[in-house]
């Protein structure tokens, strides 16, 4: 088949995208863009063996030297940013600026990880015994499996891979079968970085293309000490017990059902801008998308009117076109789930504005973003639908608003718009938001890589990217050194003989 120009520009070849049984289509128009050869489940064991062999050498490579590989990867990504961003748009349906933004996330985490390679610090700890010193040291863990979802097909891999590599670990990547081309294009950049690096062990970074059976093989293997998995809560319920059964580690990034509280003192114009991007960006297919709007009753009618006007102005269509702000849903099944959720919202007393299928590119699944006014936080509002649906409920007191915010199974991202310092600090306190991300006067979507990303409850509890998320990719050893001539025991224990 003909190689799409975007794929060619990203370094892929015609041989890579033909001759296989995994059919890849673009959500833009439903057109077939690749026929990929899948990794056989039986080959996963050999991939793990190669990763183990790579680990034997990579863990002995000084961490700053490991950081040099990630620095080179960042350079390759910078050079290929436009081409890679175009592949993200082609395969995931993101508008051009969001496709480029995702590649920028990869570049940013490479920069972060290069600095981290010289800052893998442990503590020195006071000992109760004279002539003794305690400290902690951090060591590489082993092969890391990274399972990613379609909506951030490359950025999430980079959050994990950049940190895992500087921490001394090989990486095996299993991307979503809906977005394997972005993975192939990213691996082309990785291969160029490895060639420039020169002495990296074979098998340090590998790619497994295919379905859930490949992920299951990685999840079930006791030779993979860490699995990072991004996807639905349903997927997490399957992954977590299998990893726990073999006493492995798991980083879970699962569902989000994110809320914004709009308080009486809020800057409404700023809130509207934040709401529209957070609820509509990526056609509502971000784990951090805004799904619930909790508005003070005194503002509710005015804010809904402003949002309805803003939504009516949004250009919907081909994400590659200049000015488009709403691209397609990933496939027709996603559009069907959106319509089913809206029907359920109506049955639960909701008033729906928008939400119908929209004209776009023939063959794609396009929809008008929906605003749904609800009488109360009903069952459908407690369920994450991966689509541009924004539910709106009112509140009277801040305590009521926080209770609504926290009253869902998920706990990823949250925010409040207020000029009241007491409200802002209450929202950020132990009695406020129960989410892993809590913002003030900024929407829930669009996290920077400097902070740890992840959430609580059914979001899975995992943390990736910045802050001290690197510790998940290493094993900690507590060391006690006796430099005295005596052997006192801790806690005053005596054992004389």
Q: Which residues are catalytic?
A: 253, 287
Taken as a whole, the chain contains a residue count of 497
**Both structure tokens of 158:** 């980079």
**Both structure tokens of 267:** 């800057």
Buried b (16+ CB within 10 A) or exposed e, 356-381: eebebbeebbbbbbbbbbbeebbebb
Q: Which residue has the tokens 């409040």?
A: 416
R_g (Cα) of the chain, nearest Å: 24
Q: Which residues contact 183 (CB under 8 A, 6 or more apart)?
A: 148, 153, 154, 157, 173, 175, 207, 209
**Residue 86 neighbours by CB distance under 10 Å:** 23
SS3 23: strand
Of the candidates 447, 476, 482, the residue with the CA atom closest to the CA atom of residue 464 = 447
Of the candidates 357, 370, 388, 378, the residue with the CA atom closest to the CA atom of residue 285 = 388
Q: How far is CA 25 from CA 120, 188, 330, 364, 387, in A?
A: 42, 20, 10, 10, 19
| Beta carbons of 423 and 398 less than 8 angstroms apart | yes
- Report the alpha-carbon distance of residue 124 to residue 294 in Å, rounded: 46
**Residue 229 neighbours by CB distance under 10 Å:** 27
340: phi then psi, degrees, rounded to nearest 5 = -65, -40
- Report the alpha-carbon distance of residue 17 to residue 40 in Å, rounded: 17
22: phi then psi, degrees, rounded to nearest 5 = -95, 105
């Amino acid at each position: 088949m003909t190689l799409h120009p975007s794929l060619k520009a990203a370094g892929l070849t015609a041989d890579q995208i033909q001759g296989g049984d995994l059919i890849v289509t673009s959500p833009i128009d439903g057109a077939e863009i690749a026929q990929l050869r899948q990794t056989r489940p039986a080959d996963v064991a050999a991939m793990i063996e190669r990763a183990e062999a790579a680990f034997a050498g990579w863990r002995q490579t000084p961490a700053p030297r490991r950081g040099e590989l990630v620095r080179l990867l960042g350079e390759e990504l910078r050079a290929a940013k436009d081409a890679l961003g175009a592949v993200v748009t082609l395969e995931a349906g993101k508008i051009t600026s969001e496709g480029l933004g995702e590649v920028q996330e990869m570049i940013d985490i490479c920069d972060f990880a290069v600095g981290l390679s010289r800052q893998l610090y442990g503590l020195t700890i006071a000992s109760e015994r004279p002539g003794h010193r305690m400290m902690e040291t951090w060591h590489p863990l082993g092969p890391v499996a990274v399972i990613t979802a379609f909506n951030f097909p490359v950025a999430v891999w980079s959050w994990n891979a950049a940190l895992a590599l500087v921490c001394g670990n090989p990486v095996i990547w299993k991307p979503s079968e809906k977005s394997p081309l972005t993975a192939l294009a990213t691996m082309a950049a990785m291969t160029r970085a490895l060639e420039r690096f020169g002495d990296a062990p074979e098998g340090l970074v590998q790619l497994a293309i295919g379905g859930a059976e490949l992920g299951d093989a990685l999840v079930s293997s006791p030779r993979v000490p860490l699995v990072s998995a991004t996807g639905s809560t349903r997927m997490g319920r399957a992954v977590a017990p299998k990893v726990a059964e073999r006493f492995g580690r798991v980083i879970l990034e699962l569902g989000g059902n994110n809320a914004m509280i709009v308080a009486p003192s809020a800057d409404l114009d700023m809130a509207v801008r934040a709401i529209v991007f957070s609820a509509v960006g990526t056609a509502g297919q971000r784990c951090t998308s805004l799904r619930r709007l909790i508005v003070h009753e005194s503002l509710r009618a005015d804010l809904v009117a402003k949002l309805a006007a803003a939504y009516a102005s949004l250009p919907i269509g081909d994400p590659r076109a200049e000015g488009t702000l709403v691209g397609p849903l990933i496939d027709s099944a996603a559009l069907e789930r959106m319509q089913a959720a809206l029907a359920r919202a109506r049955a639960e007393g909701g008033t729906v504005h928008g939400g119908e299928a929209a004209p776009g590119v023939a063959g794609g699944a396009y929809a008008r973003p929906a605003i749904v006014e609800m009488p109360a936080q009903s069952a459908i509002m407690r369920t994450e639908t991966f689509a541009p649906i924004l539910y709106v409920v009112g509140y009277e007191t801040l305590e009521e608003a926080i209770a609504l915010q926290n009253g869902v199974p998920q706990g990823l991202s949250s925010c409040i718009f207020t000029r009241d310092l007491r409200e802002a600090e209450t929202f950020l306190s132990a009695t406020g938001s129960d989410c892993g991300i809590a913002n003030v006067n900024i929407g829930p979507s669009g996290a920077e890589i400097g902070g740890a990303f992840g959430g609580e409850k059914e979001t899975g509890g995992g943390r990736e990217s910045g802050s001290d998320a690197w510790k998940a990719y290493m094993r900690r050893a507590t060391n006690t050194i006796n430099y005295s001539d005596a052997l006192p025991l801790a806690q005053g224990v005596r054992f004389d003989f």
